Chains A and B, each alone.
Chain A
């Protein structure tokens, strides 16, 4: 796999700023890398699963399925961002959202145990996740607040 030639590791994907961690990302991709074509569903809301995903390249949209059957886009994620961690953190391993590849996507897919080992050996992952989850919570709360201010409009 010619990862360097394809430029996937030009970025410090974990945004941690050290060559060693870039190397870890590269090594992880060689073992656990997966790719999805655009418009493919990566995770289905409601299904059981606890794998955690790190985006290497491309974009993934986070959607919620509404009772009327349509999907609502909650967020768009890009390189260096993590998803699927909620089911890995909780005993309840039900997926809370549907994740769809918005473009061709390359990911690192880790099992709950593999994620746990990585998490425990690279504490900066914890802060990255804390920031990501806090941002999502506040954004979602702002969406709800906007809805109540303008009840006729979409919550997004």
Chain B
């Protein structure tokens, strides 16, 4: 069952391997994604050999980082399995977040995990 806060979103289905969004592209019309089913991988590619990968599971959000921290995509996202997502506009996401603060906590926890991972990457480089 789709959560009520997603009612203004745009449902989409992707097949395994499909790109959901790509680095260096402008933000999509519905740039924040809630994963309903399947698994997604968000990738920040540094060069052809080096990248950081963040796996997304049902019930989690992705695509937030550039919406709040940038103008265009710096990461890309693709479907690891067939999956169903709901895309949200920023304004609708914020309206939902103001109403369902657990959604905000969910988003922040996801970002926190991502930040720890990239911080660890910096530490490894420096060492």
Interface residues of A (CB under 8 A from B): 64, 66-68, 72, 74, 85-86, 89-90, 96-97, 119-120, 123, 126-127, 129-131, 133-145, 147-149, 154-155
Q: How far is the CA of A60 from the CA of B27 in the complex (A)?
A: 33
Cα-based distance from A129 to B104 in the complex (angstroms): 9
Which A residues touch B111, using CB under 8 A?
Answer: 130, 133-134, 137
- Chain-A contact segment, one of B3-11, B12-20, B59-67, B78-86: B59-67
Which of B47, B104, B113 is in CB contact (< 8 Å) with A130? B104
Residue contact A97 to B104, C-beta cutoff 8 Å: no
* Chain B stretch 37-71: residues in CB contact (< 8 A) with chain A: 44, 46-47, 50, 52, 64-70
Residues of B within 8 A of A68 (CB): 127
Q: Report the nearest A residue to B68, measured CB to CB.
A: A134
- Given the interface pairs A68-B127, A96-B119, A134-B65, the reply to whether A141 lies near B105 with Cβ below 8 Å is no
**A-B Cβ contacts below 8 A, count:** 116
Residues facing A in B86-127 (CB within 8 A) are 94, 97-98, 101, 104-105, 107-109, 111-116, 118-119, 121-123, 125-127
Give chain A residues whose Cβ lies under 8 Å from the Cβ of B105.
89, 119
Q: Are B115 and A127 closer than 8 Å at their CB atoms?
A: no
Measured CA separation A131–B105 after assembly (Å): 13
Task: Name the residue of chain A whose CB is nearest to the CB of B121.
Answer: A144
Cβ contact of A138, chosen from B65, B94, B97, B109, cutoff 8 A: B65
The docked-state distance in angstroms from the alpha carbon of A138 to that of B52 is: 12
Q: Is B28 an interface residue (CB 8 A)?
A: no
Whether A119 lies near B104 (C-beta < 8 A) is yes
Bound state CA distance, A64 and B110, in angstroms? 21
Indicate if the CB atoms of A138 and B104 lie closer than 8 Å.
no
